[in-house]
């Protein structure tokens, strides 16, 4: 069984996260600090970035989509809030292995 660090390294791209951070810092110099109104336009901007990505294939647009998603998370609209959901509410429709089975396998293989 893979370690948690191996799983993380296969499923999280630290370079992408670094590019997100760098873009937000650069934006602060260009446009000023992030303000609550940023969340209001985030969905519209995300859709435009996806359109542009579909036209030119530039993955910088994906960094921008992620940052707009973060802004919407930071400044949710009325009636919006983070509510952790289980796999049954995920847009990914697979039959996931229950977390306890993952943990059981990890413990058994590492003892």
Residue 97 falls inside a structural domain: no
Residues 6+ apart with CB under 8 A from 1: 105, 106, 108, 109, 110
Residue 2 falls inside a structural domain: no
Residue 66 falls inside a structural domain: yes
Average pLDDT of the chain is: 88
pLDDT(88) > 90:
no
pLDDT score recorded for residue 36: 86
Alpha-carbon gap, residue 92 to 89, rounded angstroms: 9
Residue 111 falls inside a structural domain: no
Q: How confident is the model at residue 81 (pLDDT cuts 50, 70, 90)?
A: very high
Residue 45 falls inside a structural domain: yes
Residue 51 falls inside a structural domain: yes
Residue 28 falls inside a structural domain: yes
Domain around 66:
12-82
Residue 103 falls inside a structural domain: no
Count structural domains, the chain. 1
Least confident range from 12-16, 56-60, 78-82, 95-99: namely: 95-99
């Amino acid at each position: 069984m893979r370690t948690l660090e191996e799983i993380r390294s296969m499923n999280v791209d630290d370079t992408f996260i670094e590019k997100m951070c760098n873009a937000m810092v650069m934006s602060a110099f260009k446009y000023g600090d992030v303000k609550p109104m940023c969340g209001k336009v985030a969905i519209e901007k995300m859709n435009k970035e996806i359109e542009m990505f579909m036209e030119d294939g530039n993955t910088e647009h994906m960094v921008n989509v992620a940052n707009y998603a973060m802004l919407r998370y930071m400044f949710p609209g009325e009636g919006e809030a983070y509510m952790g959901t289980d796999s049954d509410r995920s847009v990914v429709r697979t039959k996931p292995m229950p977390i306890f089975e993952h943990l059981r396998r990890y413990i058994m293989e590492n003892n």
